[in-house]
Amino acid sequence: MLHVLFFSVDDPLIPNHTRLDFPEAVKLTDELETKCREEKRVMTSRFVVISTETDLTFYDGSFQFGSYEAPNIYQQIKKISERIKVSKKDQADKTYFLEQIEALTPESYKKEEIIDKELIHLDKSRISKLKTWQRRVVYATAALSIAALGAVSTIFIAQKAQYEQALGDGRDIVEDQKGLIDIYETALLGNKEGLEAYLQGEALSEKQQHILVDMYLKAEDYDQAVAVLEDPVQVETYILNSESWEDQEKINKLKAFNELYPTNEARFDMAFYEHNYELMLNLPPINMTAKRSRMKTYALMRLGKIEEAKIEINHNNDDNLKRVIDRYEVLQAEIKTLTEKLEREQQANGKDPALIQTLTEELAKKKEALAAL
């Protein structure tokens, strides 16, 4: 789990120097940002995000309430982290931190805003003095600008999210470089050769690295993928997290990569997909991401190590897994009760065949439900 501490917040809505759970901190910053926007005031504060287990500081930054920069700390962290490059040594911590905030943040706070700041800061008192037709022109022009932006944003909504975001980044950073935009647009339409050639010759952002790695992995060019990220574990973790491949295809991809670049992470991941939970838990320490923590939690549950599973789930805070574990415990208790009843009835002097049949069928259903979890 993660805690957040705020400093210099000049509003009672958020307490200073108090540890808040990350989801609560996201909620409160969202509320205070909205409040400051409505009151047209700007207020700067500092906050840190720390691990509840180790007190390690994952993030130290500021948040300017009322600035329209971000609606809450989740979105600000995501936005800033995309621009920050870290060393190979710190990449695992960064990845783990981003997965943690992704898992802890409610979906309702993840939706990105599309805000025209020029329209926000428009002097409405001056507009009110214009003639009716002039006001209509001002508002119509502003609305047209927003509509045009929305149209550009939705043209490629059915295409791969990575290329879509990269195209957006390209428009923001190099508006005057139409050639680069053409390259991204062409890639969105399926021709990625130009994009690959461009990326190979550039100092890449993290997002661009992932685009290039994705291309190499789909072409089964694992050496080039490792050359981009400079770490086989990162590439293998990318395969694990990618939604480009279904389970069996992902297993095949992991096996192929592991033959060239063997890692305990790959063995752990493959063992999970092959339901070899004993092997998973007996491997040496690995780079434990939030997803692998969820996998470990499930493995512990399947092996009947419920208390250990409950401890591990604190590292990934997966509500669905919590419900599965609760259901697992209920089914285990019901199976135990039914088994005892069936044994007693089978050993009784005056056996009731109908009851034995009912108990047998009910027990089979419970076991089937347990196996399906």
pLDDT of 129: 44
Encode burial over 288-301: b for 16+ CB neighbours within 10 A, e otherwise: bbbbbbbbbbbbbb
Q: What is the CA radius of gyration of the chain?
A: 27
Q: Give the mean model confidence (pLDDT) for residues 137-143.
A: 43
Q: Identify which of 80-89, 195-204, 322-331, 343-352 has the greatest average pLDDT.
A: 322-331
Check the CA dihedral 348-350-353-355 and report its sign: negative
Angle at 179 between CA 177 and CA 185, to 5 degrees: 110
Is the Cβ–Cβ distance between 107 and 70 less than 8 Å?
no
What the block records as the tokens of 151 is 């149209």
pLDDT of 74: 95
Alpha helices, H only, 129-177: 132-154, 161-173
Is the Cβ–Cβ distance between 256 and 220 less than 8 Å?
yes
What the block records as the tokens of 256 is 């192929």
| C-alpha to C-alpha distance for 122 and 142, rounded to whole angstroms | 10
| C-alpha to C-alpha distance for 185 and 171, rounded to whole angstroms | 11
Q: Mention every residue, 6+ apart, whose C-beta is less than 8 A from residue 78.
A: 98, 101
Q: Tokens 């409160």 — which residue?
A: 28
| C-alpha to C-alpha distance for 363 and 289, rounded to whole angstroms | 37
For 67-110, how does the pLDDT look when each residue is reduced to its tens digit (9 = 90+)? Answer: 888 999 999 998 888 777 777 667 777 888 888 899 999 999 99
Transcribe 263-312 into DSSP letters.
-HHHHHHHHHHTT-HHHHHHSPP----HHHHHHHHHHHHHTT-HHHHHHH
For 172-216, how does the pLDDT look when each residue is reduced to its tens digit (9 = 90+)? Answer: 544 434 444 444 444 444 445 544 454 554 556 777 778 888 888
